[in-house]
Amino acid sequence: MKANGATWLDRRLLDRGATSLSDGGFGGEVRAAMDVRVDFLVSEGLAGRQGQRVIFMRDLLETLRRRELDTAGA
């Protein structure tokens, strides 16, 4: 998912208390979408990988919101 703005997936990725998702069905689709989103965030320099861990930049959601507004205003 290559949205420039903050998405539900971003909030889900940052939610440490989120309930786990199943591996199949809708849960599997959400997991796959989250993996694609992480790849996009890493490619944009908004997150990094350390082994299996993903480290998100500070104020990620605010940065994404600003990007969306900048794009809309251009």
- Within 10 angstroms of residue 37's Cβ, the number of other Cβ atoms is 20
Residue 2 lies in a domain: no
- Domain span including residue 31: 8-73
Provide the domain count of the chain: 1
What is the share, in percent, of the chain residues with pLDDT greater than 90? 76
* 18-27 tens-digit pLDDT: 778 888 899 9
Structural domain includes residue 42: yes
pLDDT at residue 73, rounded to an integer: 82
Confidence of residue 16 (pLDDT cuts 50, 70, 90): confident
Rounded Cα distance between 28 and 35, Å, is: 11
Mean pLDDT of the chain: 92
Domain assignment present for 15: yes
**In a domain? residue 16:** yes
CA-nearest of 6, 2, 23 to 61 is 6
Q: How far apart are CA 45 and CA 39, in angstroms?
A: 10
Mean pLDDT of 64-72: 93
What is the rounded CA–CA span in Å between residue 38 and residue 73? Answer: 26
Output the pLDDT for position 6: 95
